[in-house]
């Protein structure tokens, strides 16, 4: 299933259900729903979420900076005889990084970023360290592993629950709902999901494969159903409010005219 479908179905259904059950929809809750609808694919470096957070242009700039830093480092080592020839090896590695394929490069950046958060987490608080460690684990695990399991829902739910307690805003409901919806959508694909690894049991209802006609059909149906729900949750009540306002206004005018 494409990232676009996950985004529409995950956040659309979550926000509609929240509105229908009378939960307050705040901007942070909506943002959490949007991120959570894409978050499980953080283990796929070329997924929509990763393309948005680490765009191609940014990767190119980082690669160029690495080449420049590598050359600079080697020149410095040459003049200062800094651990030569081992330092040349590090410089070559930095320059060689520009040849790495986009997918692997994103993976590498995730590991570095996770490591940095883990390091800083020691002083900034345990949550940064936890998120950093998870980022590193997700980067190296195969696609649809930990993030596409019940553990993924529980971990993300726990992170949001404690964040909700600190911020005084119930973010975890929208997050857990959107995250679970992503997994439910992936159940419809031929690969399905593995809800309780290391158990090999797969949960799948193979109705479609992404990129094929079956994918287009199933994804279109899911998006249409989402829009029906959005209509029911947001547009219809808006129409009713407008109608009652109109009747109220009409009654006032006719009462005034009678006077």
Q: How far is the CB of 191 from Zn ion (least distance, A)?
A: 9
When the beta carbons of 40 and 157 are compared against Zn ion, the nearer one is: 40
| 3-state class (DSSP) for residue 100 | coil
Q: How far is the CB of 241 from Zn ion (least distance, A)?
A: 37
Q: Return the range that interacts with Zn ion (CB under 5 A); candidates 9-17, 41-49, 218-226, 238-246.
A: 41-49
CA distance 157 to 176: 6
Q: Return the range that interacts with Zn ion (CB under 5 A); candidates 68-76, 170-178, 181-189, 232-240.
A: 181-189
Kindly report the CA angle at 50 between 152 and 136, in degrees rounded to 5? 55
Q: How far is the CB of 148 from Zn ion (least distance, A)?
A: 6
Burial group, residue 243, by CB count within 10 angstroms (0-12, 13-18, 19+): exposed
The yes or no reply on residue 43 touching Zn ion (CB under 5 A) is no
The yes or no reply on residue 41 touching Zn ion (CB under 5 A) is yes
Q: Would you say 33 and 160 are in contact if contact means Cβ atoms under 8 Å apart?
A: no
Q: Out of 9, 186, 188, 192, which residue is the one contacting Zn ion (CB under 5 A)?
A: 186
3-state secondary structure 207-221: CECCCCHHHHHHHHH
When the beta carbons of 128 and 203 are compared against Zn ion, the nearer one is: 203
Residues in touch with Zn ion (CB under 5 A)? 40-41, 186
């Amino acid at each position: 299933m494409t990232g676009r479908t996950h985004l529409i179905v995950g956040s659309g259904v979550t926000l509609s259900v929240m509105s229908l059950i009378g939960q307050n929809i705040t901007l942070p809750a909506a943002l959490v729903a949007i991120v959570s609808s894409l978050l499980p694919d953080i283990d796929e470096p070329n997924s929509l979420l990763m393309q948005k957070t680490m765009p191609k242009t940014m990767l190119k700039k980082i690669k160029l900076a690495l080449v420049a830093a590598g050359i600079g480092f080697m020149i410095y080592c040459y003049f200062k005889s800094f651990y030569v020839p081992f330092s040349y090896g590090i410089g070559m590695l930095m320059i060689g990084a520009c040849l790495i394929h986009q997918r692997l490069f994103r993976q590498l950046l995730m590991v570095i970023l996770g490591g940095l958060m883990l390091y800083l987490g020691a002083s900034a608080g345990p949550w940064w360290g936890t998120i950093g460690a998870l980022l590193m684990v997700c980067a190296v695990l195969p696609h649809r592993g930990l993030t596409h399991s019940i553990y993924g829902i529980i971990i993300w739910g726990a992170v949001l629950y404690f964040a909700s307690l600190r911020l005084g805003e119930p973010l975890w409901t929208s997050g857990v709902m959107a995250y679970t919806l992503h997994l439910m959508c992936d159940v419809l694909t031929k690969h399905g999901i593995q809800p309780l690894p290391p158990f090999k049991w797969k949960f799948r209802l193979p109705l479609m494969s992404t990129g094929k006609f079956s994918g287009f059909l199933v994804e279109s149906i899911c998006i249409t159903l989402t829009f029906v729900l959005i209509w029911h949750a947001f547009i219809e009540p808006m129409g009713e409010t407008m109608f009652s306002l109109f009747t109220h206004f009409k009654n006032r005018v006719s009462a005034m005219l009678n006077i």
